[in-house]
Each structure stands twice: as structure tokens, then as C-alpha cells.
Chains A and B, each alone.
Chain A
Amino acid sequence: MLSNLTLAEAHQGLKEKKFSSVELTTDLLGRIEKLNPALNAYITVSKDEALKMAKAADEVITKGNLVSPLTGIPIGVKDLINTKGVRTTCASGILKDFIPPYDATVIEKLKALNYVLVGKTNLDEFACGGSTEHSYFGPTKNPWDLERVAGGSSGGSAAAVAADMSFYSLGTDTGGSIREPASFCSAVGLKVTYGRVSRSGVTALASSWDTIGPFAKTVQDAALVLKAIAGKDPKDATTLQAEVPDYAANLGKSIKGLKIGVPKEYFGEGIDPEVEKLVRAALKEYEKMGAILKEVSLPYTSYAIAVYYVAMPAELSANLARFDGIRFGSKPKEDVKSLVDYYYQARKEGFGDEIKRRIMIGTYVLSAGYYDAYYLKAQKVRTLIIQDFENAFKDVDVLMSPVVPFPAFKVGEKQDPLSMYLADALTIPVDAAGIAGLSLPCGFTASGLPVGLQIIGPQLSEGLLLNTGAAYEQATDWHKQKPKL
């Protein structure tokens, strides 16, 4: 079995010609075929395409051009990232047969390195949700407990990595959609600084919040992936000019003297005692390594969910206006007489409940007479959340907290939309401020469910976060634990 290797180990094997990319890909496809019926991590498996790409990668490797650690490595990609010629559904009925005519910039970058795409991973419809239950294609199950959710919205990407069905994967994070499923599934998940990675060719949810980042089995692997996908892109005006460092080469620095802020609001009411205990134990581990802990306060934390559920639906309702079943997407089954009825029908049949709810909230808060009370107000409180972090980072280098207040919940357990939204309480503030956050496995509850440690840093602190995370990985072996499947 090769699928249990890390990205770095798989790269080493290709380099030493212990196996070929075709062998690696065939092995991974076998694993997916075996496990996907139970986990539903993949919406689409592109077997023929994958083997073609693997063959092309092997030719590059044979010629001695193995320039990137990602060359010849097979992966799954979240299914709202456009892959030319490979169906991209956004887990929505309205795009269930959509085949994009172009690649997202992140995919162009990976293609230039001869990566191998094995398939598209499951998500909540249009990345709206925290459990992947809002997928047109059914929920992704948690590899550690098949009765539980994998988290969301990038649940398929997280479960695929945790279950060795992908060597790494790509996801998106708007309110916690990388970190939350990473925490639920025991994977490393990195939410990058807003604008660090191009979003061209990725379906927009909330444009002033959306980011793309990696899931990986180790911090080192996440560092390797980030270097490959980050950077300025003329096609995404929000991308940052800042140079992309060699994140992996910069790992291994001592964290002695690192000042870690512990935000008291992130350990307050609603935090599961087992989650708190494991995260506090991780903090102790950092103290042992020479880091200095300091309690800090982020007083506007409790307003973050409210800010998010005004601003995000507002931006989403505008972004999803383009889905009308005309230029692309599914035409409605029921025939109608006029164009306007066509719009009503295409969107009625094509969208799931959560999308309908968010479109309506967004439409409402942007409508005449309500804009100031809701959207503008939310944008102002967003400023206060940003200032909370700015003040904290005057005193400390990074912040540490739980990722989610509780471990993975059962499929179907959270029927009320608002109770689902509360899962993002500790991840949304990071998105609001456009700063970086890392989710790192830090142990298991008594019943064997994974728990994640969140490490938060200022904008463009990805290098610092990865080095800080790698130090913990050296001292512990949580990341090496595998689900029994």
C-alpha cells in the first residue's frame, strides 16, 4: 500500500524510482474505489484522466525533470474549483452536469508541475455549511466514525486526506471551511491570508472573505503545497504582491521565546470540556518547548457569527445571481412560458434549502431601507474584530485556541440552521480579519474523535504558523494516528 505515505515520502519514492506515478495513482484509485462508497468523500473520480496525467508525469520524471515535490502526486480537489474538462458541480443541483471550459489559476499552477487529478471532493452546496450535509450528492462521512459528519464545507477534502484517499487536497475557507473539517477528521488544514492564493476560476461565495488553502497529512506537506499555489495573479486583483517564501525550507526553527496569546473568549461558554483539556495540554507542550503563554482578550469575538451571517449572505446573494440556468448550469425540468419564470424555476429546482435561505437573507439585508441597519453595521463591527487582533498581536506572536467548540457531531443532529452556524464561532473571526490560521491534530476524545488546535497569526504569517505547527508535530504523534477503515 502506497496511499498511506505522506506527500514528502511519496515524492521521495518517485525520486528514488521506488515506484512510478502510475503505480502511485493506481494504488490511490484502488483505495478510493474501496472506501468511497462508505465515506462519500469524492463526488467525481476521474480515473482515465488521472492515469493519463500520471503517465505524463512519469515521462517528465524519466527525463530527470522532477523539479517539484508535487510532480506525479495524485490528489482530489474541492469541487468548486474549476478543472477544465472534469465536471465541477459545487455540490449543487444547478451545476450537476457542468464541465468547465477553463482551469482555475491554482489548477493551472499544479498542472504546470505535472500533478495528477484523481477526482473532485464533496462539499456543502456552494461551500455553505459546516458538515457537508448540504451536498446535492449526500453527506461525507467522518473516517473516525461513519455515523458522524466530516465537517464542512470542505468535508470531502478533509476526509480524503485523513482516510489516505488523497496525498493532500485543496479546499476553501470563508468562515472556517478548511479548519473545521480538518479538526473533525484529524488533518492539517491551512487558512491563508486573504489574497495569498488566487481565486480565479473558483466559484465565489463571499468575495471579501473567500480563501483557498491546502489539507495535508503533515505541516511540512502543507508548506510544500502552499509554495506551489500562492502568489500574485493578474486574474485576481485581490492577490498580494508579497514574495512567496520557501515555506518548507524554513521549518525546524526553534520556538523558544515564542509569545503565544491564549484568548480567554475562545475558552468560554459552550466549549466541550474534553476539547478544552486537549487544547490546554497542547499549550503545555508548547510551554515545555520554551514558548511563553499569555492570556489575551478579543472582546468582540461573540459578535463574529452575527457579522458573518449578514455580510456573507449579502455577498453570496449577489454572487449566486449568475446562476440562472442560461449560460451554464442545468435547465429546469418543468417547462415554463416566459424568461422570468425560467429564472424562478431554474433556481427553485437547482438550489438546496441552505442556499435558498442564504440568498434570501442576503437579498433582505441589502434591500432598500435595511442596508445601513444590517450590512453597513456588520462591516463596522468587522472593523472592531480586526482591531481586536491588531491589539493582541502587539503583545504576542501567535494566538492558540480550539478550532471548533466541540468534536464532530452526528449526521442529522443539527436540524436547526442557527445551531449549525455556531460551529464556526472560533474560526469566523480569523476570516473576518483576513488573517492566517492553521488547524493541527492535537488529540482524541475518550470516544476516539479527533480534536484540532488552532494557531492564528497576523496577515502573511503563514511561515511562522507552519514553523510553530511543525514544532508541535515533532514533539507529538497525533498526526500519525490513522482511522480504522
Chain B
Amino acid sequence: MLSQDQVRHIAKLARLGVTDAEVEKFAHQLSDILGYVEKLEKVDTSKVQPTSQVTGLKNVMREDVVQKSCTKEEMLGCTELPVEAEQIKVKPVMNN
């Protein structure tokens, strides 16, 4: 079962702002879900390989050719933040 501190820690790892009320609600709900998936423990998988790709494709390669896609202006047009010298201006990384 997840404690409220664990929920706060997970939210921090995920860069997700949460309110106290949300922490309480999510602690219950996430515990329920994690409790449910614990049934996987019952399956003997000692001789089973994991699957991450279902069609068996491996290392799909193609020629490294420059292709026309979006323009710089189109890409920069997607941000709601100020653009300066073709760069998106964000909040300071360091607090003073």
C-alpha cells in the first residue's frame, strides 16, 4: 500500500504538481490498482522470456537522408512562451 509520502515522492519524480486532497485520493486509488496487479506474482515465470516487441522486428535501419519536414518557424510557432533569437525563453533554471 502506498503512503501519502510515497505518492508525493512519485509525483515529484514525474514533475507533477499535486494538492493535498489529490495526494489523499491518489494514495487510495493507486494502492487499489497496485494491489490488483499483484496477482501477477502468482504466475511462475522462471523459464519465460519477457516480450517488448510483438512482431519480432529488430534493428530496423534506413538511409540517413535529409528530408523536408516542418520549418523552424512552424516548430517555434507551437510554443506559447516568448521566442528570442530562434529560441524559446523559459523560466530560470537556478533560483537566486
Contact = CB atoms under 8 A, between A and B. Distances in A.
Q: Is B truly associated with A?
A: yes
Interface of A: 97-102, 193-195, 208, 234, 237-238, 240, 300, 302-303, 305-307, 309-310, 317, 321, 324-331, 336-345, 347-349, 351, 353, 356-357, 359-361, 363-364, 367, 374, 376-384, 386, 416-418, 421, 432-434, 459
Q: Among the interface residues B38, B39, B40, which one has the most CB atoms of the partner chain A within 10 A?
A: B40
Interface of B: 2, 7, 10-11, 13-18, 22, 26, 29-30, 32-34, 36-41, 43, 45, 48-55, 57, 60, 62, 69-70, 74-75, 77-81, 88, 90-95
B92 A339 contact: yes
Contacts of A240: 55, 57
Nearest to A377: B40
Contacts of B90: 326, 339, 342
Contacts of B17: 344-345, 347-349
Contacts of A302: 39
A379 B52 contact: yes
B15 A340 contact: yes
Contacts of A349: 17
Contact of B70 (A101, A208, A306, A378): A101
B10 A377 contact: no
Contacts of B95: 337-338
Contacts, number: 177
Contact of A380 (B2, B48, B75, B88): B48
Given A348-B17, A363-B10, A102 B54 contact: no
A330 B81 CA distance: 9
Contact of A363 (B14, B22, B50): B14
Q: Among the interface residues A340, A363, A378, which one has the most CB atoms of the partner chain B within 10 A?
A: A363
A244 B16 CA distance: 43
5 contacts: A208-B52, A338-B95, A380-B51, A418-B32, A432-B54
A360 B52 contact: no
A97 B80 CA distance: 10
Contact of B74 (A101, A357, A381): A101
Contacts of B62: 234, 237
A360 B92 contact: no
Given A331-B80, A363-B14, A459 B53 contact: no
A330 B40 contact: no
A35 B22 CA distance: 36
Contacts of B29: 357, 416-417
Given A344-B17, A356-B26, A360-B26, A338 B50 contact: no
Contact of A434 (B54, B74, B75, B81): B54
A454 B51 CA distance: 25
A382 B88 CA distance: 42
A324 B14 CA distance: 11
A101 B34 contact: no
A384 B47 CA distance: 11
A433 B91 contact: no
Given A234-B62, A340-B15, A380-B48, 13 more contacts: A101-B70, A101-B75, A194-B55, A208-B53, A310-B40, A329-B80, A338-B95, A347-B14, A347-B17, A360-B14, A377-B41, A379-B52, A384-B43
